[in-house]
Amino acid sequence: MPLPPGPDLSSWRQLYRWIREPMPFLEECRARYGRSWTLHLPGLAHAVVMTTDDAVIRAVFADAGDALHAGEANVVLRPFVGRRSILLADGPAHRRKRKLLLPPFHGERMHAYGRTILEVADASVDRWAVGRAFPLHPEMREITLRIIVRTVFGIEGDARFEELVGLLGEALDAAAWPPLLMPMFQRRLLGFGPWARYERTVRDADAILYEEIARRRRADVPRADILSMLLSARDEDGHPMPDAELRDELVTLLVAGHETTATALTWAFRHLLERRDLEGRMLAELEPAFARGPDALAKLPLLDAVTRETLRLRPVIPIVARLLKEPMRLGELDLPAGVAIAPAIYVTQRDPELFENPSAFDPDRFLRTSSRPAASEWFPFGGGVRRCVGMAFALYEMKLVLATVVRRARLRLAPGAVAGMERRSITFAPRDGLPVLAVAKAPRGESVADEAPERRATTPEAAE
């Protein structure tokens, strides 16, 4: 079975381009080879067939998880989330884990986290000084890390949790260097270097996590946080989750639930700062909804459209992958066992056949029509049985943080801020952490709209 054609470069050159400039590389391949193409990367036993083909993507997301293995395709994440993580599981083990992890992120339960999200976002805005430039991405990381730690553990203001927040932030900073994704760079070098620093902080964070698991098991007091729900969960034989598995799932939620959302939020501001004509409309929509609480905010049409458009143009994670366990026909593609099929989120969501003027940041595209794009056209959270466990939580969190910041702080790009993006581990964020300047700020519970707003319309355009 011949695989779709792909770049005629050495596998090392393909890897270099994939690590250094994945977005232009994806776009070039799409332009040159059509809807599906094949990459060969050193260190991977299998070829990777990337696709933007609607029928193939639908077939991938329709699989029940036995013929297509995402866990095996995610093996590169093992040193970061632990070998028992849901991200690395497949088949029945994966189904069991999902059953345990989904309930805390569903419906009503998720909405209980609304007040926490607003409170954490407010506390960050309180600290911003008017007139002083600062990078926004670290602020967003701090907000989303505090939110996830508070919702997972249900605790705040405790010294050990302050330490945990610090250690997790440090571990993720250490792991952000892209070469660390490759085993050859995961070396201790006599206790020095980024890998040794990463391992040390993870060890310290683990000590706090295991201590908290033990303390909660002893206390046995029912609580509403995610850790308590996982502690009380039982498998079909009535067994609780062992400590080591619980540790890996907690780390997965903390890691998967924080850097991704922070990066998406930073992109949202990157584009909003260039579409200042949206500021007045957003403020007008937000103001009356704040009095009605977090759920009313989350239902606002323009806020929702800004969130979805950000994730369309800047999906944070450019592809998802599945390893074929048997030969399969996916759409028109006949593929052998042992290759990986990768729906290419980034290029699909910029396909001019699917989205008009696709490189423009244009939230109104979601308001002009009542129909949503199909699950094979807009899929920043992946799809099928592997779709992101935290999707509803992330959308809710993004909207509430955006609402708080837009309402209280008038931000501008700092002088000298440059366009472009940089890779942090598997995510892609605005360059230099997006330096911004707060030119005005309102106290908690008030809006910058109350001061005479400076309005300047700009045309929608791509950020690059």
Shortest distance, CB of residue 196 to ligand HEM, whole angstroms?
A: 27
Instruction: Select the span of 212-220, 228-236, 354-362, 377-385 touching ligand HEM (CB under 6 A).
Output: 377-385
> Which of 114, 257, 318, 363 touches ligand HEM by CB under 6 A?
257
- 383 binds ligand HEM per the rule CB under 6 A: yes
Other C-beta atoms within 10 Å of 26: how many? 24
Shortest distance, CB of residue 193 to ligand HEM, whole angstroms?
A: 29
- 393 binds ligand HEM per the rule CB under 6 A: yes
- 250 binds ligand HEM per the rule CB under 6 A: no
The span from the first CA to the last CA of the chain, in angstroms, equals: 39
Shortest distance, CB of residue 145 to ligand HEM, whole angstroms?
A: 11
- 387 binds ligand HEM per the rule CB under 6 A: yes
Element (H, E) at 9: none
Instruction: Select the span of 171-179, 256-264, 279-287, 357-365 touching ligand HEM (CB under 6 A).
Output: 256-264
d(CA 359, CA 347): 10
- 77 binds ligand HEM per the rule CB under 6 A: no
Q: Mask of contacts with ligand HEM, 35-74, x by CB under 6 A?
A: -----------------------------------x----
Site residues (CB under 6 A) for ligand HEM, limited to 409-448: none
> Which of 346, 381, 396, 428 touches ligand HEM by CB under 6 A?
381
Is the Cβ of residue 267 or residue 355 nearer to ligand HEM in the bound state?
267
- State the pairing for strand pair 340-343/48-51: parallel
**What 8-state DSSP symbol labels residue 221?**
-
**CA distances, 47 to each of 3, 26, 37, 397 (Å):** 9, 15, 10, 36
Instruction: Select the span of 19-27, 209-217, 378-386, 408-416 touching ligand HEM (CB under 6 A).
Output: 378-386
**CA distances, 112 to each of 116, 151, 295, 397, 423 (Å):** 8, 9, 10, 12, 33
**CA distances, 77 to each of 71, 74, 85, 183, 449 (Å):** 9, 6, 9, 11, 44
> Which of 50, 87, 125, 344 touches ligand HEM by CB under 6 A?
87
> Which of 260, 348, 404, 425 touches ligand HEM by CB under 6 A?
260
> Which of 202, 317, 342, 401 touches ligand HEM by CB under 6 A?
317
> Which of 68, 86, 174, 227 touches ligand HEM by CB under 6 A?
86
- 389 binds ligand HEM per the rule CB under 6 A: yes
Is the Cβ of residue 386 or residue 441 nearer to ligand HEM in the bound state?
386
63 φ/ψ angles, rounded to the nearest 5 degrees:
-65, 145
> Which of 256, 298, 300, 411 touches ligand HEM by CB under 6 A?
256
**CA distances, 21 to each of 14, 15, 382, 417, 420 (Å):** 10, 10, 21, 20, 11
d(CA 76, CA 84): 13
* The two structure tokens encoding residue 182: 């490759």
Ordered DSSP codes for 154-173: ---S-HHHHHHHHHHHHHHH
Residue count (the chain)? 464
Cα angle for residues 178, 182, 186 (degrees, 5° grid): 95
Q: Which residues bind ligand HEM (CB under 6 A)?
A: 70, 86-87, 98, 101, 148, 252-253, 256-257, 260-261, 264, 316-317, 320, 380-383, 386-390, 393-394
